[in-house]
């Protein structure tokens, strides 16, 4: 299969979502060594899960199928440029390359505007609209310190 074939599969998943109750038309596939190892579509409403985006669902599926969280060497094909949540998921999963079809500007043109999310994520913690306050920093920091002292510690393992 070619990159175009993989993207067509991601777009097919997005089209399938149009006929799936509680799904939205965003599909993604994960590819490793020329084979699809994960698929997903946006099921935020159906799953009652605001993180159930197509890319995240595909990452979860690939992780289950491959038996690892580390998707180094994998590529992600998505029917639409990913939001910050999905980009963060790709970062933590170590996705090597991402291909996209539609853009966030295309989404904005139909009324789905991700700019407020983008602006929020880029602000300092204290300047975000979500109210927050730190509590028990020392206790939590102690746990992190203890973890860092454990045998074979590797924060990315």
Which residues are marked as active site?
A: 55
Please give the Cα distance from 130 to 118 (Å, whole number): 14
Please give the Cα distance from 72 to 90 (Å, whole number): 10
Dihedral sign of CA atoms 111, 6, 12, 53 in order: negative
Helix, strand, coil: what percent of the chain each, to 5? 45, 20, 35
């Amino acid at each position: 299969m070619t990159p175009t074939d993989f993207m067509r599969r991601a777009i097919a998943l997005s089209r399938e979502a149009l006929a799936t109750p509680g799904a939205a038309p965003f599909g993604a596939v994960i590819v490793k060594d020329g084979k699809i190892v994960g698929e997903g579509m946006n099921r935020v409403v159906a799953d009652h899960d605001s993180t159930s985006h197509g890319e995240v669902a595909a990452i979860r599926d690939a992780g289950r199928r491959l038996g690892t969280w580390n998707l180094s060497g994998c590529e992600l094909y998505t029917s639409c440029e990913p939001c910050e949540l999905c980009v963060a998921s790709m970062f933590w999963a170590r996705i090597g390359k991402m291909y996209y079809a539609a853009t966030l500007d295309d989404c904005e043109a139909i009324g789905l505007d991700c700019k407020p999310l983008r602006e929020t994520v880029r602000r300092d913690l204290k300047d975000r609209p979500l109210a927050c306050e730190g509590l028990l920093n020392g206790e939590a920091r102690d746990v992190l310190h203890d973890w860092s002292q454990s045998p074979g510690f590797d924060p990315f393992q």
